[in-house]
């Protein structure tokens, strides 16, 4: 029984690791970044456990400014991370 608890806690720690979550979020965030000239995607970077959208119109894109991704980048990324955690932790 104690061994199962330790396994479960280790899995929780692995899934909730900030770098793991950041990598998972980065893929979705970047995939939901509008592409016209490629500038926005090219200037979206993962630095440590933070996603940086290093272009002046990032906020507008995130607010649905582009017809390509009317939900922006953050909303679908948050949903994906929530679903990812539930799936990985068996909830």
- Say whether pLDDT at 19 is over 80: yes
Query: The domain containing residue 47 runs over which residues?
Result: 2-88
Domain count for the chain, please give it: 1
- Sorted by sequence, the CB contacts under 8 Å of residue 65 that are 6+ apart come out as 34, 57
Cα separation, 73 vs 38, whole angstroms: 15
Between the CA of residue 32 and those of 5, 17, 74, 79, 82, what are the distances in Å? 37, 23, 9, 12, 16
Look up the pTM and report it.
Answer: 0.86
Query: What digits encode the pLDDT tens for the residues 44-71?
Result: 999 999 999 999 999 999 999 999 999 9
pLDDT at position 1: 74
């Amino acid at each position: 029984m104690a061994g199962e608890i330790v396994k479960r806690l280790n899995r929780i720690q692995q899934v909730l690791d900030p770098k793991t979550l950041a990598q998972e979020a980065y893929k979705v965030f970047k995939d939901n970044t509008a592409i016209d000239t490629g500038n926005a995607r090219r200037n979206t970077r993962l630095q440590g456990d933070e996603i940086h959208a290093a272009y002046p119109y990032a906020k507008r894109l995130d607010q649905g400014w582009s017809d390509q991704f009317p939900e922006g980048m953050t909303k679908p990324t948050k949903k994906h991370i929530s679903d990812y955690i539930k799936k990985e932790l068996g909830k």
